[in-house]
Structure 1
């Protein structure tokens, strides 16, 4: 019996993009669930005034959760090709490192902290940036073998 579905073969790079995208999507959804997000009723659309905390640790707002959802959808969509998966992991990692630096220099009580970010967010962004870039670089070191 033959299958009518086309067999999909993803490289490890594409699988990593898909996995990271799924994690971002789940985190974005969890940020909107009361209980998983403590002080949910105090969530703001954006800004440092939001005291909602994902897992009681990471300061979130509706904007912050939406950014996670967007990154999630991007990672899943960009996992379709080797080139776009690499772009997602390395480019997304760079964005997260920039966000880490921004979080370190912005006053957490100022209106410039519009995402919002706290210390836990900042260090998570650093780890995410480094891991995403490492995945993008290490899993694309041999593009001819990876694409075969």
Structure 2
């Protein structure tokens, strides 16, 4: 009969913060890929590499460009990769959330018809970025250790009372 070592068990069991980072990473991958699919992205034939002239709209709501989709794909890869450990997952969610709050503020202050709107962003993107920033930061405070790794109540880390 095969036995599982503690290291192998640790690799297969994820903490809550790791699950959150993995989920966000997977969604970013899906959204990035969906941005390149005609039909899911309306106005696909008008998609530009970057800039506010791109009229492509993911789900008919969120303005996207090739650059915008690539950023989502990269965020997804980073999220999935950093979900491997609790600390890395926490950093992905925390600092990723900070970046999204920065994008939210950036989207609010720029003129959407100027060259400053290089991503591009529209009002729907702005409010989605607020939601992403707030939820990612909040989720970064989830436990970084699994239930099995936590010391039992009233016991030290070696399980002694």
Query: Counterpart of 1:76?
Result: 80
Secondary structure of the residue that 2:140 maps to in structure 1?
A: helix
Decide whether the 8 Å contact of 1:47 with 1:114 is kept in 2: yes
CA distance in structure 1 between the partners assigned to 2:30 and 2:3 by the alignment: 31
Structure 2: give runs of 5+ residues left out of the alignment: 150-161
Structure 1 residue 117 and structure 2 residue 121: aligned?
yes
Kindly state the Cα deviation for residue 145 of structure 1 after the two structures are TM-superposed.
6.5
Change (3 A) 1:126 1:146: farther
1:101 to 105, 108, 113: 105
Structure 1: give runs of 5+ residues left out of the alignment: none
Kindly state the Cα deviation for residue 59 of structure 1 after the two structures are TM-superposed.
0.1
Query: Counterpart of 2:29?
Result: 25
Alignment of 1:39-50 (within 5 A): 39-50=43-54
- Deviation per CA, 1:31-79: give whole Å up to 9, x if none: 0000000000000000000000000000000000000001000100000
Query: Counterpart of 1:92?
Result: 96
CA distance in structure 2 between the partners assigned to 1:29 and 1:9 by the alignment: 28
Kindly state the Cα deviation for residue 3 of structure 1 after the two structures are TM-superposed.
7.4
Structure 1 residue 51 and structure 2 residue 60: aligned?
no
Kindly state the Cα deviation for residue 2 of structure 1 after the two structures are TM-superposed.
2.7
4+ residue runs of structure 1 moved beyond 4 angstroms? 143-147
Decide whether the 8 Å contact of 1:11 with 1:147 is kept in 2: no
Decide whether the 8 Å contact of 1:46 with 1:62 is kept in 2: yes
Q: Which has the higher Rg, Structure 1 or Structure 2?
A: 2
CA distance in structure 2 between the partners assigned to 1:121 and 1:61 by the alignment: 12
Root-mean-square deviation (Å): 1.9
- Normalised TM-score (structure 2): 0.85
Decide whether the 8 Å contact of 1:60 with 1:116 is kept in 2: yes
Paired positions, count = 145
Structure 1 residue 34 and structure 2 residue 38: aligned?
yes
CA distance in structure 1 between the partners assigned to 2:26 and 2:122 by the alignment: 23
Kindly state the Cα deviation for residue 9 of structure 1 after the two structures are TM-superposed.
1.1
